[in-house]
Structure 1
Amino acid sequence: MLKKISYICIAFYVFIVLGLYFFQEKIIFRPKKLAKNFSFTFATKFEEVHLKTNDNSLINALHFKVNGPKGVLLYFHGNKGNLERWGKIVAPYTSYGYDVFVIDYRGYGKNTDARTESKMYQDAQLAYDYVKQFFKEENISIYGRSLGCTFAAKVAKENKPKQLILEAPFYSLIDLAQHKLPFLPHRWLLKFKFETNNFIGKINCPIAIFHGDSDKMIPIESSQKLVETAGEKNIDFIILKNGTHHNISSFKIYKDTMSELLN
């Protein structure tokens, strides 16, 4: 009887492992597709842009514009939706007197090509190179939210922006998966590592991190570990009391800090 139970447990474990391996992209990435001829509509002035990659893919992006911008906010969004959703979220940042530039990831919105971690990092750098055509690096602020934090951190590491702003970052995808399902061998299972921890200590610009202490999606310990990993780096760590994964931008301290950062 015990032997039979053991076999059942092993079979169940293998089933979970295989399921995670083969369906991990559907778990990590939650895109919403858009037709190629979809027309964006926003209250803020914007331009739709298509960035051509080295492998001849096209990355859909939105460039929100203001008159006489103080700089540009390069925004990397979270894992759900597409530019139709995120455009509405990022457009209000123009109220700080900044242009805002945001891309969709591969497989999101109008983008169709298959994604890999390395290609996604290359796409993020492509976005930085685009805004660098119009702004000096000292006027480029990089912003990452959730999944987007790893792209933001990578780009900040490879370049010389004014600053890096992270909202609810994870330490690494492996670390986050280990927190959610500690009994699985994530290091060997996950094709996407997204090791923000490997970038944070090599960034030379000022860093601001916002994280809610009631975040159930990405625990605040993730940000705390990033701060510890960064060591003596210039980091402003803002903890939002009762902040969740989705309400950080509603806090007064967030708005006040963003006003200071984008002054």
Structure 2
Amino acid sequence: MLLMVLVTLVIAYVGLCVLVFLNQRQLVFPVPPGAREPELPGATLLRIPGPEGSTVYALHVPAPDGAPTVVHFHGNGEQLADEAWLAQRFQEAGLGFYAVEYPGYGLAAGQGPSEAGIYAAAEVALEHLHQKLGVPRERTVLQGQSLGSGVAVEMAKRGHGTRLVLITPYTSIVDLGARIFPWLPASLLVRDPFDSAAKAPGLELPVLIVHGTRDEVIPVDMGQRLGTLFPSATVRLLEGRSHNDVLDRPSVLRELMEFARGGARKADTGQPEP
């Protein structure tokens, strides 16, 4: 009798693992419904030929002469049109802005989202930025929010920028999965690991990490840990801020812009800011 119970439990557990494995991309990539074109005076929506006949979409705000361009990778619950407000803020500050859409999202909804597919689209968009739009890597700042933090780290690893901003980042999707589902073997099941922690020690560029102390989606200690793994990182802990409101503070945006321009970073105290 006990053996039968154990066999039943094992079968149920294996079935749960299979179910999670097959449906995990709906959790990692909760694509918002609909497709909207971003609207911003002075910005251009680019349609760039991508891999296997696909189209890579990017929103481009040209930088004034000599100013850097911030390349932004959005969160997993957003699409390109949702970044128009952020593009406008950087535009008003005299900086260039370049946001890249993910396969499976918004205007690129006909494709399926995956880590490899997102990297491929980002690579195409960045090569277009450098080769066709004339923005050198030396004036390119990579910026990623939430899911996009892993994309920004990978593009930094490929040498596309000289500065890196990570907003509410995770160490890896494997680590995050293990936190959410501690009873599952996340390291065996995750198809899209986005392993920023493994890449961080090899990246020598300056890094700014911003994380809210009350982040309910990605634990703040993940941002803190990344800060110890990059050779040159500053961590900003925002007291009382959650996952989606860290950019609501004008002071935070100003610091991101100062960092993008190459401004001096304040010493990292490791303490939350009020």
TM-score after normalising by structure 1: 0.89
Alignment deviations for residues 16-72 of structure 1 (CA, whole Å, 9 cap, x no partner): 21221111111110123546xx6x352432111112223221112211235546121
Alignment partner of 1:254 out of 249, 252, 255: 252
Rounded Cα–Cα distance in structure 2 between residues aligned with 1:30 and 1:11: 29
Q: How does 1:199-238 map to 2 (within 5 A)?
A: 199-230=199-230, 233-238=231-236
Alignment partner, residue 91 of structure 1: 88
Alignment deviations for residues 238-261 of structure 1 (CA, whole Å, 9 cap, x no partner): 111112111111235423422421
Give the % identical residues. 22
Alignment partner, residue 241 of structure 2: 243
Summarize the Cα distance change of 1:24–1:142 in structure 2 as closer, same or farther, 3 Å threshold. Answer: same
Gaps of 5+ in 1: none
Rounded Cα–Cα distance in structure 2 between residues aligned with 1:197 and 1:262: 22
Q: Deviation of residue 8 (structure 1)?
A: 5.3
Alignment partner, residue 31 of structure 1: 31
Alignment deviations for residues 192-250 of structure 1 (CA, whole Å, 9 cap, x no partner): 111111221121211100011111100011112212222xx111111111121111112
Alignment partner, residue 165 of structure 1: 165
Contact residue 33 and residue 82 of structure 1 kept, 8 A: no
SS of 1:22's equivalent in the other structure is: helix
SS of 1:55's equivalent in the other structure is: helix
SS of 2:208's equivalent in the other structure is: strand
Q: Deviation of residue 167 (structure 1)?
A: 0.2
Gaps of 5+ in 2: 262-274
Rounded Cα–Cα distance in structure 2 between residues aligned with 1:34 and 1:89: 20
Alignment partner of 2:117 out of 116, 119, 129: 119
Rounded Cα–Cα distance in structure 1 between residues aligned with 2:60 and 2:200: 27
Q: Deviation of residue 171 (structure 1)?
A: 0.3
Rounded Cα–Cα distance in structure 1 between residues aligned with 2:155 and 2:80: 20
Once superposed, what is the RMSD of the aligned Cα atoms? 2.2
Rounded Cα–Cα distance in structure 2 between residues aligned with 1:242 and 1:83: 27
Rounded Cα–Cα distance in structure 2 between residues aligned with 1:211 and 1:141: 19
Task: Give the aligned residue type for 2:225.
Answer: K
Q: Deviation of residue 147 (structure 1)?
A: 0.5
Rounded Cα–Cα distance in structure 1 between residues aligned with 2:3 and 2:101: 50
Rounded Cα–Cα distance in structure 2 between residues aligned with 1:209 and 1:61: 24
1:51 correspondence with 2:57: no
SS of 1:170's equivalent in the other structure is: coil
Task: Give the aligned residue type for 1:113.
Answer: Q
Q: How does 1:175-214 map to 2 (within 5 A)?
A: 175-214=175-214
